[in-house]
């Protein structure tokens, strides 16, 4: 069958690369894709933006696309799945109503409370006066979040009450994030270790993917500004078999049941961002309605089952018939290379040299912000590449991933040198 993947990041490169390995895949198109998907022998880029829903539907109709897989949150929140379905097209992802779990933190926090899903204590505000009064009574640090989509930048962990009030005022005035800040969530700061937990859901059944952890901050030692993710690995040692079972029972299952009860059963990837405290307390920080980036890259390296088969079954609500997924028992680790300055301003259009030949088994450089210009591969975004490798243990996969990084160059390239340190220290 012909498949369409919507997106242009490292996540979409990894998903499309994996989908194309299915014996059932004919052509796999990526809209709009990047230099990495352009250069894959069995992937085809098409120049349509992720938010141009009419053109995407038109393309799917005229190219006999039997399955569309959506990568990023923005088109999901915009309603791409509903739009495809209204046109009789099969599209894997949450409906617009379901995508609110990511698109509105006010919605999702109230949902967690209603269905007793463990999460940080919180209140939702749309007025600065009531928000300020509440903030002054909270212990420090206190967390202030824009309710809407803010590209991962809408969270402030404030060390003082004044800092929290200033952040709240910036959001509520519309100055900081426009409409996304018209409602804010003020919540308790949680201590512990974060992990990412993904499932593939079809409304009723959820199949968990391998566990993973990412490094969200820009600099070594997990400090500096928050980014979309500087590196990730799978599995996540913090998720013991016992915690795994609790995540399914305390978080995932009540969520699917709640969404069904609301009349909007959840189909798609579902990404739980969790905080696991030393004493085993488990809390849900947030949901995303998509796969994580860069977690997808190491996870796809380990997936041995046929991804196309599974997503196809999910669209038809046949997941209960699927066997458990099978995984490479090795560890996978990905190091993200970014343009210097990211997540602030950075240059684009710099030529990238030294990309390794795609030969060595278990090593793969996924592209994110890249494009082809005049026959050269150049940078075209903040997060540029994700050098990923399998290894017998976390140290070996790290060494193999960094070996790929060593040969790659462009003006002002940057990466963290300590990806995986938490897992290695265990
Ligand atoms: P979110 O977009 O809600 O996942 O927040 C982005 C990041 O901010 C998370 O990955 C955490 O590192 C941090 N964060 C968010 N909420 C909290 C919280 N209540 N306590 C501690 N850290 C948090
Ligand atoms: N890895 C963080 C994210 O995808 O949001």
**Does ligand 1 lie within 6 Å of residue 187's CB atom?**
yes
- Give the CA distances from residue 330 to residues 326, 381, 398, in Å, rounded to whole numbers and listed in that order: 12, 31, 12
Kind of pairing between the strands at 122-125 and 91-92: unpaired
Q: Which ligand is nearest to the CA of 213?
A: 2
| 273 Cβ below 6 A of ligand 1 | yes
- CA of 190 from ligand 1 middle (Å) equals 8
Tell me if 159 sits within 8 A of 141, measured CB to CB.
yes
CA–CA separation, 305 vs 295, rounded Å? 17
54: pLDDT strictly greater than 80: yes
Model pLDDT for residues 192-245, shown as the tens digit of each residue: 999 999 999 999 999 999 999 999 999 999 999 889 899 999 999 999 999 999
Averaged pLDDT for residues 63-80: 97
Average pLDDT, integer, range 167-189: 91
Distance 172 CA to ligand 2 centre (A): 25
CA-closest candidate to residue 274, choices 418, 117, 150: 117
Task: Please give the pLDDT value at position 297.
Answer: 98
The CA distance from 32 to 6, in Å, is: 7
Does residue 315 surpass a pLDDT of 90? Answer: yes
Ligand 2, atom 5: nearest CA belongs to which residue?
Answer: 292
Ligand 1 touching residue 216 (CB < 6 A): yes
Q: How confident is the model at residue 383 (pLDDT cuts 50, 70, 90)?
A: very high
214 lines ligand 2 (CB under 6 A): yes
Tell how far CA 115 is from the center of its chain: 24
Q: Find the ligand nearest to 10 CA.
A: 2
Distance 133 CA to ligand 2 centre (A): 32
Q: What pTM was computed for the model?
A: 0.95
Is 189 near ligand 1, meaning CB less than 6 Å away? yes
| Distance from residue 11's CA to the centre of ligand 2 (Å) | 10
Q: To 10 degrees, the CA torsion angle through 250, 252, 255, 260?
A: -130
* Atom 1 of ligand 1, nearest CA residue: 286
Tell me if 286 CB under 6 Å of ligand 1.
yes
Task: Please report which ligand is nearest the Cα atom of 336.
Answer: 2
């Amino acid at each position: 069958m012909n498949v369409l993947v919507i997106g242009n990041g490292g996540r979409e490169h990894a998903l499309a690369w994996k989908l194309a390995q299915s014996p059932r895949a004919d052509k796999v198109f990526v809209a709009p894709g990047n230099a990495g998907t352009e250069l894959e022998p069995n992937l085809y880029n098409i120049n349509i933006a992720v938010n141009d829903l009419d053109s995407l539907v038109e393309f799917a109709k005229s190219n006999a696309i039997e399955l569309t897989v959506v990568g990023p949150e923005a088109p999901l929140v915009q309603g791409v799945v509903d739009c495809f379905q209204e046109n009789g097209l099969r599209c894997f992802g949450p409906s617009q109503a379901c995508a609110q779990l990511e698109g509105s933190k006010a919605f999702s926090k109230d949902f967690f409370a209603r269905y007793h899903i463990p999460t940080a204590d919180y209140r939702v505000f749309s007025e600065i006066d009531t928000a300020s009064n509440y903030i002054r009574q909270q212990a420090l640090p206190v967390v202030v979040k824009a309710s809407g989509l803010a590209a991962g930048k809408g969270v402030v962990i404030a060390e003082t009450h004044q800092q929290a009030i200033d952040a709240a005022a910036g959001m509520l005035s519309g100055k900081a994030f426009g409409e996304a800040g018209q409602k804010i969530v003020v919540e308790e700061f949680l201590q512990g270790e974060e992990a990412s937990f993904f499932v593939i859901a079809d409304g009723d059944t959820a199949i968990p993917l391998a566990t993973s952890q990412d490094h969200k901050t820009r600099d070594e030692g997990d400090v500096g500004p928050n980014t979309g993710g500087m590196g990730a690995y799978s599995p996540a040692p913090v998720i013991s078999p016992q915690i795994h079972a609790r995540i399914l029972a305390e978080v995932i299952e009540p969520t699917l049941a709640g969404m069904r009860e609301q009349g909007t059963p959840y189909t798609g990837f579902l990404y739980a961002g969790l905080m696991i405290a030393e004493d085993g307390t488990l809390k849900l920080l947030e949901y995303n309605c998509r796969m994580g980036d860069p977690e997808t890259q190491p996870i796809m390296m380990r997936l041995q089952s046929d991804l196309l088969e599974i997503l196809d079954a999910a669209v038809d609500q046949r997941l209960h018939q699927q066997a458990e997924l099978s995984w490479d028992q090795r560890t996978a680790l990905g190091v993200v290379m970014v343009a210097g300055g990211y997540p602030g301003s950075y240059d684009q259009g710099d030529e990238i040299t030294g990309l390794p030949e795609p030969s060595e088994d278990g090593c793969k450089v996924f592209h994110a912000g890249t494009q082809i210009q005049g026959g050269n591969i150049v940078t075209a975004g903040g997060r540029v590449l994700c050098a990923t490798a399998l290894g017998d243990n976390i140290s070996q996969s790290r060494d193999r991933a960094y070996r790929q990084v060593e040969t790659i160059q462009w003006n002002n390239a940057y990466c963290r040198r300590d990806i995986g340190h938490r897992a290695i220290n265990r």
